[in-house]
Every structure is written in structure tokens, then in C-alpha cells.
Chains A and B, each alone.
Chain A
Amino acid sequence: MSYENEEFFAPGHGMCAGCAAPIIVRWVLKMAGPNTIVVNATGCLEVATTAYPRTSWKVPWIHVAFENAAAVASGIEAAARAKGEKLNIIAFGGDGGTVDIGFQALSGMIERGHNVLYVLYDNEAYMNTGIQRSGATPYGAWTTTSQVGDANPIGKLRPKKPIARIVAAHNPTYVATANPAFFQDFKRKIEKALSYEGPRFLHILSSCTTGWRHDPSKTIKILKLATETGLFPLYEIIDGDIEHMKITYRPKEFKPVEEYLKMQGRFRHLLKHPEYVQKLQEDVNKWWEKYGKQ
């Protein structure tokens, strides 16, 4: 049965206008249906959708802490298994709660083989606490803890942590990167992830109007450019077989990274320094030379 025309996520939440995270949540829940329990790591999504005494969630939902969404999901899954109940157990975490603070719990959850779908909505910084850099912040992005000035004209000096491939190295049944701007691919991957047993991981890019500094209406346009420039490749890895990682969308002609950068205030400083833009472009080119044939 399809629940595409039903909503399991109610309006009236406090997520910013134009935030991509609720779009991701809506579609994950539509694909999963009502027989679902959600575990939410600390983050914008948790704070802004459950301001007590109100909630936007129409499925059972629990929040515990920043670092343990995957551990709580593991426990719920073990309990469901002991009771013989078939449920979708879905954990949502932002990049802070997934690639940094919650990584240990996530690693353990996959190693123990829990039957959980973990969804990372990645807005590339700690947006909820005021735009601090995370392991998922890309090279060259301004944040409040990767400030731009004379001493550091670049912003964040280190590249983005390749979390999907790191997770895949744990041999979960299904790993994919997805982007709501590539809607059919995005929807298919959610459906596919839900159809597998065992630990599964979706890394979904989610723009942040406040932290990326862009007009709220441009959310989907910017997300689209992230993939069309090659900066956020779309792929899937089955049973941890990283050598056979399958790229699901290959731009016919790559757009230059500037097109993506110039739409966002967090990269404004970078455009004054073509050599740093070039460095980012070279990183993208290298990635595609190395993995693009897969």
C-alpha cells in the first residue's frame, strides 16, 4: 500500500521558511507509512518540530540526546525483534549528530547489525546552535567557527568528511547519497532503503537558508547545482561493496563549482580568490576521475 498522498508530518512546526529538512522528512515518512517509530538526534529538526507541548510528528517519535540516536534506535529495534513486531525504525540526525557527535553510536549500530534505517539530513554545519562548522562542512565555507578574515581568507580549511563511504566500510546492507532536487532518484532510494533488512544509511543533502545564506525560494535550485557541479555525487553502495559503488546520476556536462558557490553567502569571500575556487574544482575533478566510472 502506498501512503504517498498521506502526511505523517504536520504543519505548524518552527523550521525556517525554505528549509529542506522537512521536505526530506515528509517523503521518508510517506514512503515508510504509519507502521513506523522515529528516533531523532538533537538538532534543528528535533527542536523545531517538537516545541512542548506540541509536535509535528504523527508517528511515535523519541528524542534522547545529541550523540545516541543510533543507540536508542538499536534498543527499540531489539525490543521490537524480541516482541516479534515488524516495524520501520527510522533514525533522523543532522550532520552534527551523525558525522561528529553521534558517529560512535552509529558505528556500533551498524556493527551490531540492527534493522534500522538511519537518515542523515546534511546541512553542513551546526545550524541549530548558530552555524558552527562540523565534519560535514565543505572546504571554503564560512561558519561562525571557520571565520573569514586576513589571517584565514578561506573559511573552513578541511574538506567534507566522506560519511557515506565511511559508513559503507561497516558493511551495512544499503547506503546511498540522495538529493531532493533529483526527486525520482531521491524517492527511489528511500523506497529501496526501506525494502532492505539490516542497517541502512541515507545521506541526504539539505540546504539551510540561514547558514548557507540564500534566498528561501532557491532551496531546490541550489541543491540541484550541488549535484550538477559534481560536488555532491549521487551513488549507492550495497552490502558494503565500495568497489562496486554505483553512481546513479552522472551529469552530462559538469557545471563549474562557481555556479553553486555564487548562490550562497557562505562562499561569497571565496569568489574573490579564484585560486581557492580552483582548489575546490580540482577536488571535485579528482573525485570524479577516481570514482566516476563506477
Chain B
Amino acid sequence: MDMITRGAIIPDAGNSVENKTGSWRVFKPIIHYEKCIRCFICWQYCPEPAIYKKDGSEYPAKNDAIKKRITEVPVIDYDYCKGCGICYEECPVNAIEFVKEEK
């Protein structure tokens, strides 16, 4: 953008997605879907949000019953995850691992 818009209005709502804040990350959360009970507490508490709901048919699960009951899974978008670790800390079944980022 060359010139400041009149009134400094930002017409493109939600364009902060152009900032890839995932570069801030020091530790990285990894969801282990075979342990995940699809409770979405990680999604609920992600402050970015960098966790979204996605169709879970291609993801492993502890058993078929879980897959049948809840068709979606939480997926981490590493473009934006700052690695705060709230998801890792709040996961009730310890399905999220928190490892040092390798860059």
C-alpha cells in the first residue's frame, strides 16, 4: 500500500492473515489423533485462532466409535501458531505433544 487510505480505513477485513505469526514459535504443539477425543478444548482456547475444525475422515482415531460420533478434528495451522502451549496444557487426554521447534 503506497498511500494512507482516507481516515486510515482498512477495507480488507481480516487481512492480518498476511502476517505469518508462526515465525514467533519456539515450541511446537503436535496433535496425536489416535489419542484425541475430539473435545475441541484446544480449538476453544486457541488465542490466535490457529486451530480450526476439519473433516476428520482421513485422520487416525482411537476407535471407530469416536470417528462416527464426531466427524471433525482440530487441526493446527502452523502459519499462525505462536506456540503458547495453552492447547498442550489444557488437553484433557494429553494428546498434544509440545516439542522444541526446529528451524
* Residues of chain A at the chain B interface (Cβ within 8 Å): 5, 7, 9-15, 17-23, 26, 49-59, 180, 183, 209, 215-221
Chain B residues near A9: list those with CB within 8 A: 49
User: Using a Cβ–Cβ cut-off of 8 Å, how many residues does chain B contribute to the interface with A?
Assistant: 38
Q: A53-B5, A217-B89 are in contact. Are A11 and B18 (CB under 8 A)?
A: no
Asked if B90 is at the interface of the complex by the 8 Å CB criterion, the answer is: yes
Contact A217 B85 (CB under 8 A): yes
Contact A59 B80 (CB under 8 A): no
Asked if B38 is at the interface of the complex by the 8 Å CB criterion, the answer is: no
Interface string of B78-92 (1 = CB under 8 A from A): 011011111011100
Chain B residues near A51: list those with CB within 8 A: 16
Which of A5, A10, A15 is within 8 Å of B47, CB to CB?
A15
A52, B18: Cα distance in complex, Å: 12
* Chain B residues touching A, majority SS: loop
Chain B residues near A10: list those with CB within 8 A: 14-17
Interface string of B1-39 (1 = CB under 8 A from A): 100110010101111111111001100000000000000
Chain B residues near A13: list those with CB within 8 A: 16, 19, 21, 48
A14, B19: Cα distance in complex, Å: 9
Q: A54-B16, A55-B10 are in contact. Are A22 and B48 (CB under 8 A)?
A: yes
A216, B86: Cα distance in complex, Å: 7
Q: A19-B47, A23-B47 are in contact. Are A216 and B20 (CB under 8 A)?
A: no
Asked if B44 is at the interface of the complex by the 8 Å CB criterion, the answer is: yes
Q: A9-B49, A11-B48, A11-B80 are in contact. Are A54 and B86 (CB under 8 A)?
A: no
Among B20, B77, B84, find the residue whose CB has the most chain A CB atoms closer than 10 A: B84
Chain B residues near A18: list those with CB within 8 A: 47, 82, 84-86
Among B12, B16, B46, B88, find the residue whose CB has the most chain A CB atoms closer than 10 A: B16
Contact B47 A54 (CB under 8 A): no
Q: What is the chain B residue whose CB lies nearest that of A209?
A: B84
A13, B80: Cα distance in complex, Å: 9
Distance to closest chain B CB from A208 (angstroms): 12
Asked if B62 is at the interface of the complex by the 8 Å CB criterion, the answer is: no
A14, B53: Cα distance in complex, Å: 23
A205, B73: Cα distance in complex, Å: 29
Contact B48 A53 (CB under 8 A): no
Distance to closest chain A CB from B70 (angstroms): 13
Which of A26, A55, A180, A218 is within 8 Å of B16, CB to CB?
A55
Contact A54 B15 (CB under 8 A): yes
Contact A183 B44 (CB under 8 A): yes
A221, B53: Cα distance in complex, Å: 24
Contact A56 B8 (CB under 8 A): no
Asked if B59 is at the interface of the complex by the 8 Å CB criterion, the answer is: no
Chain A residues near B19: list those with CB within 8 A: 12-14, 54
Contact B17 A11 (CB under 8 A): yes
Contact B16 A53 (CB under 8 A): no
Chain A residues near B46: list those with CB within 8 A: 23
Among A56, A183, A218, find the residue whose CB has the most chain B CB atoms closer than 10 A: A56
Chain A residues near B89: list those with CB within 8 A: 217-221
Chain A residues near B14: list those with CB within 8 A: 10, 55-58
Contact A12 B86 (CB under 8 A): no
Chain A residues near B86: list those with CB within 8 A: 18, 216-217, 219-220
Distance to closest chain B CB from A221 (angstroms): 6
List 8 tightest A-B contacts by C-beta distance, closest first: A217-B85, A18-B84, A11-B80, A12-B16, A10-B14, A12-B19, A17-B82, A17-B84
Which of B5, B21, B98 is within 8 Å of A11, CB to CB?
B21
